[in-house]
Structure 1
Amino acid sequence: MDVKKYYTDANALLVGHFLLSSGNHSDHYLQSAKVLENPKIGEILANELAQQIRKTKIKIDCICSPALGGILAGYELARALQTRFIFTERVEGEMKLRRGFEINPNEKILICEDIITTGGSALEAAKCIESQGGQVIAYAGLANRGFCQRVGSTLEKKPECKLPENIPLFALEDFIFNMYDPKDCPLCKNGTQKAIKPGSRGH
């Protein structure tokens, strides 16, 4: 599957000067909301991801996504795997379960994002789930920014990755883009436009 083409066709592979959720800067940005704007494309991508997961025979009781960016991807993956779906959301900066969502003791849960960069938001959601007695058995995303090692990829885990090594990460494709510490960002030094945040916490 050519995931990059889906992003390109949806004008969702952006080039410029961007502020990532991690606080770092990049010259590219994947705007998954534009891809998932088309429900049929969302279904195709989720079915492909579900197929990867099924091959491993991992038992999943529930899909959980951190709001807001992961909700559409997580819901479609839950539909493809025919399991229930919940989401966490930030309350005063901390990931929490709200809206009556509950975790059963030792329930096996996969954390799903749209994009896995360093895995910070996914890990926050995982800690929330584990504090409620759930068991996080896998992570997933439509695309992997190449910092974390996914199942089926030859790319090695980078120091920036926050996800644990003993839990598998599933994603459809690796996207390798430059990422800069804001204190050492060449785009800032070159006088390029101010870094913008086009994701769920920005424009």
Structure 2
Amino acid sequence: MTNEDVLNEFRDAGALREGHFILSSGLHSGVFLQKNLVFMHPERAERLCKALADKIRAAVGEVDVCVSPAVGGIIPGYETARQLGVPSIYVEREGGAFKFRRAFEIKPGARIAMVEDIVSTGLSSRECVQAIQEAGGNVVCAACIVDRSGGKADVGVPMVALASLVVPAYPADALPPELAAIPTEDPGSRRLAK
């Protein structure tokens, strides 16, 4: 699956949006990938995650488990794990940090593919990787459907991205005039609990 094939899945689902968005990172952007509009369609999720699973295998070989950050990574993590034939578990925020809950655990040294939906700055991925490593897992890659950083995000382990996209993002105090002139939308979930 090419970069354009992946972006077409988002376009066809009405999930490649333009406007003025506040990302989960707090940065502002003129483009937002509304991934839930893609993942609500099982056939789209299957196509994308099968391609991601194939890319993970090609990059790092077989893995034992896929671990995702809740909430956004759960569906792509599950479907990618299904395509890889391995269990899918996730971490949740507890006291501001990712933790394994719900009796989820990993065997020490297990080969883990951390699977995320969209990577922008890499913060959630780094936090998820840290939680996995603290639990004794060997994170062999951080995989995502779309890397919005164009390969610049440092997630602490090798990155496997199905598609890469360079989308400028700005701090609130450094917006270009054309973006500042548009009303903001805050479609992310990180700040909902605050």
Determine the structure 1 residue equivalent to 2:13: 10
* Structure with higher RCO (Cα < 8 A, 6+ apart): 2
Pick from 67, 70, 79: which aligns with 1:67? 70
Kept in 2, the 8 Å contact 1:69–1:199? The answer is no
Partner SS state of residue 18, structure 1: strand
Q: CA deviation at 1:51?
A: 1.2
* Shift in CA distance, 5/129, structure 1 to aligned 2, threshold 3 Å: same
Kept in 1, the 8 Å contact 2:24–2:189? The answer is no
Normalised to the residue count of structure 2, the TM-score between the two structures is 0.91
1:28 matched to 2:31: yes
Structure 2 residue runs of 5 or longer lacking an equivalent are none
1:115 matched to 2:118: yes
Partners of 1:21 and 1:143 in 2: CA distance: 15
Q: CA deviation at 1:191?
A: 3.4
Q: CA deviation at 1:192?
A: 2.1
Determine the structure 2 residue equivalent to 1:153: none
Partner SS state of residue 172, structure 1: strand
1:56 matched to 2:59: yes
Partners of 1:185 and 1:100 in 2: CA distance: 44
Aligned-residue RMSD, C-alpha: 1.8
Determine the structure 1 residue equivalent to 2:155: 163
Structure 1 residue runs of 5 or longer lacking an equivalent are 150-156
Determine the structure 2 residue equivalent to 1:176: 166
Pick from 136, 148, 155: which aligns with 2:139? 136
Partner SS state of residue 164, structure 2: coil
Letter of the 1:106 partner, please give it: G
1:37 matched to 2:44: no
Q: CA deviation at 1:182?
A: 1.2
1:199 matched to 2:188: yes
Q: CA deviation at 1:162?
A: 3.0
Q: CA deviation at 1:57?
A: 4.8
* Shift in CA distance, 57/135, structure 1 to aligned 2, threshold 3 Å: closer
Letter of the 2:66 partner, please give it: I
Partners of 1:97 and 1:200 in 2: CA distance: 19
Partners of 2:59 and 2:180 in 1: CA distance: 47
Q: CA deviation at 1:129?
A: 1.0
Partner SS state of residue 132, structure 2: helix
Partner SS state of residue 163, structure 2: coil
